[in-house]
A = this chain, B = another copy of it.
Amino acid sequence: MPETRPYHHGDLRAALLAAAERTLRDKGAAALSLRELAREVGVSHAAPGRHFKDKQALLNALAMAGYERLAQTLGAAEDPALPLEPRLAALSRAYLGFAIDNAALLELMYARKHEPDASEQMAAAVEATVGSLVRVLADAQQRGEIIDGDPEELNLVTGAALHGVATFISAGWLTPEAALAGVEDLVHHLLHGLKPR
């Protein structure tokens, strides 16, 4: 019997997002097409339009999901019991791990193409994600382990270095293995500086 698929899919939106994330991981952002996704999921080429007003809306949804996953990943790597340096190193490893496993997705998350309305949700998601790092720095600051200054601003240094390394991996200038192996050194250099002491 011809396996009569029901007219309504059930949860097309989630299915599309899942397929999109798979394609993103396997073939990159350029290979993402609404029509192809529709084919994969088994609906007509216009069905995705019911759930995402245009392609950018789907990309925004992907990015949001990415932020949630990243925040979770970082949260799981957080261990307040650890001393500052290994604590930062653990978070860094977690971020780089996410960047390695989700390179295309991360790029999407950094691509500000959202219209102003989606921008607010995004900003909140970013804030929640960056929070883990800032918290570690603020904690260390209270204990006098780190110099004074706005934690958000100090985080700019660590965050930038971290994401820079992630970019270098994704650009192929650095193997994932080398980057992960170098995390301890990176954190050490950030904390102690490049000048001799």
Is A112's CB under 8 angstroms from B192's CB? Answer: no
Q: How far is the CA of A162 from the CA of B159 in the complex (A)?
A: 11
Q: Is A1 interfacial (CB 8 A cutoff)? A: no
A interface bracket (residues with beta carbon within 8 Å of B) = 35 or more
Oligomeric state, in copies = 2
Q: Is A190 interfacial (CB 8 A cutoff)? A: yes
Q: How far is the CA of A126 from the CA of B174 in the complex (A)?
A: 13
Q: Which of chain B's residues have a CB closer than 8 A to the CB of A144?
A: 196
Shortest CB-to-CB span from A135 to chain B, Å, is 15
Q: Which of chain B's residues have a CB closer than 8 A to the CB of A182?
A: 153, 156
Closest 10 CB pairs of A and B: A160-B164, A193-B193, A164-B164, A161-B161, A112-B172, A163-B164, A192-B193, A160-B165, A160-B161, A157-B189
